[in-house]
Structure 1
Amino acid sequence: MQPSERREKIVALLGRTGEMAVEALAEALDVSRETVRRDLTRLDAAGRLRKFHGGARPMTVPAASLEKEGPFAQRLAQNAEAKRKLARAACRLFKPGDSLFIDTGSTTVALAEALAGLDGLVVVTNSPRIAATLAVNPSHTLFLIGGAYSADAGESLGPLALEQVGKFRARHAVLTAGALDGSSVMDFDLQEAEMAKAMIERADLVTVLADHSKFDRRAVFEVAPLSRVDTLVTDAHPSEAMTRALTAANVRILTP
């Protein structure tokens, strides 16, 4: 494939998806990440796309795309390496004997894989996949929340699930986020937002896991104001404006 043809394919891919990570582009085009980065640099300079740390997006992203989230399988593949890195960083926050609520998300799936290497945690989750991942380590104590089952993300939601969350107290609530702006943490799904809120209410400390693609975005449902978040674990430092907002809210920023 000629470089010019490859670059046109990159522009076309971004036009369909709205945003892609370098790793995903390299896999789709069967080239190295270094080649993709060089192409993105040239395309950005030519005004064909907008490059950011770890990926790129079209120059013009339809407003509707900022208000929705893709299917769970697609989200698992997006920014996968960044999510693994921030998951490993988040592990430093926990020690044996700690109790954690963990909600369902592509980043918390990566966290569960990292936490499996620790010992002696008590975990309450609404994700069968997260529970099964942690169960490979018999030192963990696991509680799986039941309720109405959502097949896309593989999670329990709804009134029965929220009622069960209310029976627990935990030291930490570890949550994913659909979007963050200068005032709050948000989600694209009402029931997922309700689950996160319920976990926050029953936890002492709140940790949000969010890769850089979630910054300076908005979603429909507010989960919590930034002031309720104790630690944000991410793969790259937010923008200057976002950093100021996090600092003003006394949110600790933890990166790999």
Structure 2
Amino acid sequence: MDQRHRHKQLLRLLAEHGAAPIPRLAAWLGVSAATVRRDIRLLDTADQLHRTHGGARRIEPAIARPWQGATFEEAARVHVERKRAIARRAAALCADGDTLLIGSGTTTFHMAGFLAGRRMRVVTNSFAIARALLASGDSDVILSGGKVYPAQGVILSPFDTEAVQYCHADRLFMGAHCLAALGVMEADALLIGAGRRLVHQAREVVVLADSSKFGKRGGMFLCALDRIARVVTDTGAPDAGVQMLERAGIEVDVVPPDAPAPAACMLPRAGPH
């Protein structure tokens, strides 16, 4: 096992287990304790993990409880032109009759406008997406159950109802806190729980990530890159980030941002009001 692959496996193990001593990591990886010790030292220097006495632990983001992520309206005003272009390309991947899982987020929200008039089944945990689809098209819309976070316009922990558990979708569209060599990262443990369930319920997983999502540090592991079929991003994405995804066998669609629109155009509301 070469060093690059070993580092990726080590980070994945810590993402799954939280922390582990050197002997256990060495056994899992099938290498010597001295090799793991060197790897931990290098990855700690690169801020990819925390070195502990006799082992290592994953980097955890600072998470407040209850969940206090940016409000939907705040996030909707950031990188709007990138998000609309990405959402347009994502919607073009869909066909009438498809079953879609669409995660919450302001990039995935913009898909609703481009799916207007289509006939498909859509399962989502976003008030804004459900409202927009019901108002503009003929799709069947299933809104998941769970705890409501009105400011963020999301329901968590979702996707536990029977209607969703037994759903196998053609595609899952989801956002991300960041994309890294380890995989798709999210900023909050509540989002992780929902996302991990969903990635196994779709034939194809598509990540919508504007160029600001490359190069971020921190976050919590959601899934490995080998679970992702396609990433849609914008022309601002760094070449190194795109090449990283392509080396992992991911198809990458790069689209130019839309022209700036009037400030009031397509600003969504978060809650069911």
The answer to whether the 8 A contact 2:145-2:160 is kept is no
Gaps of 5+ in 2: 1-60, 64-68, 256-273
Q: 2:159 pairs with 151, 159, 162, which one?
A: 162
Cα deviation code 1:132-152 (max 9, x no counterpart): 100123421111101110122
- Number of residues paired by the alignment? 188
The answer to whether the 8 A contact 2:211-2:238 is kept is no
TM-score (norm 1): 0.69
The answer to whether the 8 A contact 2:87-2:110 is kept is yes
Gaps of 5+ in 1: 1-65
TM-score (norm 2): 0.65
User: Partners in 2 of 1:77 and 1:241 — Cα distance?
Assistant: 27
Cα deviation code 1:159-182 (max 9, x no counterpart): xx2312323211111001111112
Q: Residues 237, 246 of structure 1: CA spacing in aligned structure 2 closer, same or farther, 3 A cutoff?
A: farther
The answer to whether the 8 A contact 2:167-2:201 is kept is yes
User: Partners in 2 of 1:222 and 1:132 — Cα distance?
Assistant: 30
User: Partners in 1 of 2:252 and 2:148 — Cα distance?
Assistant: 33
Q: Residues 97, 244 of structure 1: CA spacing in aligned structure 2 closer, same or farther, 3 A cutoff?
A: same
Question: CA shift at 1:199, angstroms?
Answer: 1.2
1:93 aligns with 2:65: no
User: Match for residue 238 of structure 1?
Assistant: 237
**1:114 partner amino acid:** F
1:212 aligns with 2:215: no
| % identical aligned pairs | 30
Q: Secondary structure at the match of 1:97?
A: coil
User: Match for residue 200 of structure 2?
Assistant: 201
The answer to whether the 8 A contact 1:89-1:255 is kept is no
The root-mean-square deviation of aligned C-alpha atoms, in Å, is 1.8
Cα deviation code 1:79-100 (max 9, x no counterpart): 0111111111112211111111
User: Partners in 2 of 1:250 and 1:196 — Cα distance?
Assistant: 21
Q: Mapping of 1:72-91 within 5 angstroms?
A: 72-91=72-91
Instruction: Flag the structure with higher helix content.
Output: 1
Report which structure shows greater RCO (CA 8 Å, sep ≥6).
2
User: Match for residue 183 of structure 2?
Assistant: 184
Question: CA shift at 1:237, angstroms?
Answer: 5.4
Q: Mapping of 1:80-159 within 5 angstroms?
A: 80-116=80-116, 118-158=117-157
Q: Secondary structure at the match of 1:168?
A: coil
Question: CA shift at 1:234, angstroms?
Answer: 0.9
Q: Mapping of 1:50-61 within 5 angstroms?
A: none
